[in-house]
Structure formats: C-alpha cells, structure tokens
Structure 1
Amino acid sequence: MSEFYLNWFTSDQKFPFFIQYGFHDNDTDLHRHVDFSELVIVLSGTATHIVNTEESFIKKGNVFVINGSTPHAFKDPQDFKICNIMYKPEMLSTAGPDLRTSNGFQALFVLEPLYRHKHAYTSKLSLPIPMLEFVTALIAGMIEEYSHKLQGYQTLLVSRFMELVVYLSRHYEKQDKGSQDNHLIHLAKSLSFMEDHYLETLSLDQIAAHAGISVRHLNRIFRSYYQTTPISYLHRLRLERACSFLKHSNFSITQISHESGFSDSNYFTRQFTKTYGMSPKAYRKKL
C-alpha cells in the first residue's frame, strides 16, 4: 500500500494546504495519507470507493472526508471528476465554537472520518444539483487563487475553505433532520450538547432527550463509535479542563474540581487518578 505525504503536493511548509481537480480514468492504488486529511467532493460521474477492504458506490454530489490513517482507493471510474482538498487537521481548529459544536460539523469532519477508519462507512452527505453548483463555483475560485498565488491568497483560501466547511456542515445537518436511522447525527447532537453543557450537572436522560433517542441507544452508539460510555466521555471533557487549570492557574484542587464540573472534590481526585495514574497534586508538581 502506498503512503502519501502532503509535501509531495506542496513544498510550502508555512501553508500546508493543497487543492486540485482530480480526473480519474483508471483505478487508483490503495493508499493512505500519512500527515494530512482530505476533503473529497465528487463533481461528476461515478466510481467504486474502496475503504480498507470494503467497497461502496459513489456519484456526483457525494462529499466525504478521509483522515490520514484510513486506506482508500477508487476503481471503475466513469466520467469521474473530483475536487481534492488536502489540509492539516489543525486547520479546522480555526473554527469558532459555534461551528465546532454544530451537529453537521461533528458528523462530517469528526465522526465520519473516525468511524470510516474502523468500518466501511458510506458518506451520508449528497449535495443536490443547486447546492453542488454553489460548491463548484466556490471551488473554482479557490483553485484560481491557489494557482495565481497573489498577495493575500493564503488568507483568502483559509477564509473560503472555512466557508466551504460551514456550508457543507449546515447541509449535512439539514439533510438529516427527520432521519431516524442516522446514528452519526444522533451522536453529533449528544456530543454538541455535552460540549456546551459539560460544566453543568448532566444526566444520561438529559443527553439522550436532546439527541432524540433512548438512553439505551445513546449508550450503544457511544460504544460503537468511541468504545466508551457517555459518562466517561463527559468525565474526559471535565478532566481536560482540570488539566488546563492545573497547568495555568494557582487554583486549589477543590476550586479546580468545581470549575471543571465536579461537585465533589474527592470524586474528582479519584477520577483524575484513575485516568492519569497520579493525583491532581502530583500532576501539578510534575509540570
């Protein structure tokens, strides 16, 4: 299996981003991206998409993200044209909290690529013709900017890339409203709710109700996608915040536990020690 690196496509270390049209007349070899993610928009035609060892049919309007560790290839292309946007995952960190916690963003850019690495997961996003035309025009402008590299092109490309991310995320969420079968959108709703409210007292019933599913189903999809429970995920969010306080503040351990969403400092210490193998006090001393 081949391994692709971003510097094969661009030598600009200060701007690790590449965009191109891809015209495929022949099958491609199975490959993975070592140090970048790839956003793929199918502009015309059809092909078979191989992910790991599984195959699925893709066509005009399909959109999906492939993370670096996921092997994939195309075969049996028919009039197949795509746009490849290759980027470092950190580029998405410029997204504001309003986007990062949106259901569509979580599903398309976080959960689908994560799950696709482990399973043959077919993208749920398929753009209708009017929306694909808008995306096609946006892509054309980005490729023109990338080709000419005029002053400020990097800033403009980042801006347009994020516009594309927002547009696709919005449509993903809109497309899946009313769908009772899409586990990803239910999971995205629960994640967004937890990330918005993890400093508050949350119950499984509240999280499941927000996602529109039962507690049993909530536990099942967390196990399937994250190999953990909703409560463990909630603890992780709180403990990550506690680590930040331990590094960057002089707050007491009790104060940090409360500021991180734990109502009981003893329980906080037990959970912290279980996760990091040392007490919060010892963790702070090691810094």
Structure 2
Amino acid sequence: MTTKLFARDIGLEPGFTFRIQKCPLTHDYFVHSHDFSELVVILSGSAVHIIEGREYPVRAGQVFLIHSNVSHGYKNVNGIEYVNVMFQPEQLLQQSELRLLPGFQALFYIEPFYRKEMYFKGMLTLEPGQLREATRLLDVILEEHDRRPEGYRLMIRSYFTALVGMLSRYYQTSSGLEDNKALRIGETVTYIEEHFLQPMTLQSMADMAYMSTRQFLRVFTRNYQTTPMDYVIRKRLDYSCTLLRSPDLSISQVAMDSGFHDQNYYSRQFRKVFGCSPSAYREKMQNSGDISPLSP
C-alpha cells in the first residue's frame, strides 16, 4: 500500500507550502505519494527511482518533478545525495513569463505526465557547470528557508523563480527538439501563449507538435486539465477583460479584438467562465474601480 503524505502533516506552512532540504539517502525509501509537488535535483551518487510502478535509474545532475498524487520511491541506493524542494505549483509558478519558456512547459507540465504514461526518457541531466549553478541557487534558498529572516518568503519566491527559469533554459538547450516529444509540445504551448489572438485550430496545434490530433488532444488535456481550444478561448477571454475596462470600446469591438468573430458566441463563453455578461463585468468594474479580472 502506498503511503500518502499531506502538507499539513509534515509541518508545511499554511498559505506558503514550501520546504527545501538536502538529503543524503543511505537506504531504500518507501513508495509514497503526497498532495504537493516535489522538485528533485540529484547532487551525487545513484539509485533506481520508482515512479508509478516503473523504474528509472537516476544519477548526479539529473532533475525531475514529481506532481501530487504520483507514487514514487527509491531503491538500490548508492551514496546518493539530493535536494528536495516541496511546494504547491499554484503558489510559486504563477509568473506569466515562465509560461513563455518551452523548457518550462516541458519540464514542469509535459514530461512528468509522459513519465507516468509511458517509458519516457526526456529527463533533464545537468552538466557539471550547470549543476554547480543550480546548487548555488538551491543553497541560497535553503539558507533563506532555514534562517527565515524578514522577507524570507519574498526572497524564496524570487530565487525559486530564478531557479525554475534557469532549469527551463537548460532543458531546452540540452534536449534535441526533434527527439523530445515533451519539448515539442512545450513549443506549441508557448506559441499559443504568444499568438492566442490569431486563428488556431486543433489540427494546426497538433501539426506544430508533430502529433495526431487525437494524441495531442489526449496529452494536452491530461496535462492542463482542459482541451487545447478551451485553453485558447480562456486566454482570449482573459484578454477581453482588459479591453472591457476601456469605455470607448463597444462589446462587439472587444469581442473582435479578443479573437472572437461572433459577439453572441463571445458573450456565451464569457458568461460560462465568469458567470456574468461582458456588459455586467464592465459595469461592475466601473462601479467598483476594481481592475482585477474575475475568477472563474
């Protein structure tokens, strides 16, 4: 039976689920899962990592992410030491600039699910110089976490964002795009993030990822908990919220400028996501002075 670990049971702070620890592992570690994500950086040694019942040899320099509710453990431990970062993605991975990095999409979203679904060998392996740079940032984060000086949460968020950005760059430069399915999908998601106002079809997105429409739809939906077209629509709706704050633009113009060619369709989608019409949203913003988009 797999043991389930919960953030509240291991002393992670409410509202700021984060812990970092440097772990020398001298024995096999039982298979378990948890309700938070883990970023693992192997510093030295080797072992066999068990993920969802499948076995993967790991060694110094390798970096991988374990999402919540994914079972994993270690066996055949051989002098391994690693840094383990436990966190909630929704608390620490909200920088919009990160989503524009194909390596980020691949390393933090696509690859973990590929590993779970099939024997996928796209794991990031850092070169010695890259591992030293990553270790340097991890040590700074570890010091902030252990000492907890004033503003330590802000500093942890900043340093962790820098670490994630650096690892995303390394992933992209170390992986051949043609051979790495996760990176190809990451490139496609980055394109969506940058060009969501342009015409898009499921077929065009699948072609960009070098996949069939059926396979792309299945993988994308599994990783992002929404379909590719609904992902595009949500991006357009969020953008339309910004345009609605301008009283000089008509609703039909907002719809057109947000990538919707049918105002009625735009209004239906807006109400479906935000629970009110675009006009009601605009009125609420004007009355309250609130400039924040509505939550779904």
TM-score, scaled to structure 1 = 0.80
Distance in 2 (alpha carbons) for counterparts of 1:89 and 1:24: 25
Aligned ranges 1:103-122 → 2 under 5 Å = 103-122=102-121
Distance in 2 (alpha carbons) for counterparts of 1:171 and 1:80: 22
Distance in 1 (alpha carbons) for counterparts of 2:257 and 2:82: 47
Give yes or no for contact 1:219–1:230 (8 Å, CA) kept in 2.
no
Alpha carbons of 1:140 and 1:245: their partners in 2 closer, same or farther (altered >3 Å)? closer
Give 1:223's aligned residue.
Answer: 217
Give yes or no for contact 1:241–1:260 (8 Å, CA) kept in 2.
yes
Give 1:85's aligned residue.
Answer: 85
Q: Deviation per CA, 1:84-123: give whole Å up to 9, x if none.
A: 001111223442x332221011111122234445445445
Distance in 2 (alpha carbons) for counterparts of 1:230 and 1:93: 20
Q: Deviation per CA, 1:57-93: give whole Å up to 9, x if none.
A: 1111110111112111111111111100011112234
Quote the offset at 1:28 in angstroms: 1.6
Quote the offset at 1:260 in angstroms: 3.2
Give yes or no for contact 1:187–1:218 (8 Å, CA) kept in 2.
no
Give 2:70's aligned residue.
Answer: 70
Give 1:188's aligned residue.
Answer: 186
Distance in 2 (alpha carbons) for counterparts of 1:51 and 1:6: 20
Question: Structure 1 regions of 5+ residues with no counterpart?
Answer: none
Give 1:157's aligned residue.
Answer: 156
Give 1:173's aligned residue.
Answer: 172
One-letter code aligned to 2:180: N
Q: Deviation per CA, 1:35-74: give whole Å up to 9, x if none.
A: x111000111111111111111111111011111211111
Question: Structure 2 regions of 5+ residues with no counterpart?
Answer: 282-293
Distance in 1 (alpha carbons) for counterparts of 2:93 and 2:80: 31
CA RMSD of aligned residues (A): 3.4
Give 2:101's aligned residue.
Answer: 102
Quote the offset at 1:220 in angstroms: 5.0
Give 2:24's aligned residue.
Answer: 23
Distance in 1 (alpha carbons) for counterparts of 2:232 and 2:147: 46
Alpha carbons of 1:76 and 1:247: their partners in 2 closer, same or farther (altered >3 Å)? farther
One-letter code aligned to 2:194: D
Alpha carbons of 1:167 and 1:11: their partners in 2 closer, same or farther (altered >3 Å)? closer
Count of residues in correspondence between the two structures: 277
Give yes or no for contact 1:31–1:71 (8 Å, CA) kept in 2.
yes
Distance in 1 (alpha carbons) for counterparts of 2:93 and 2:250: 30
Alpha carbons of 1:164 and 1:8: their partners in 2 closer, same or farther (altered >3 Å)? same
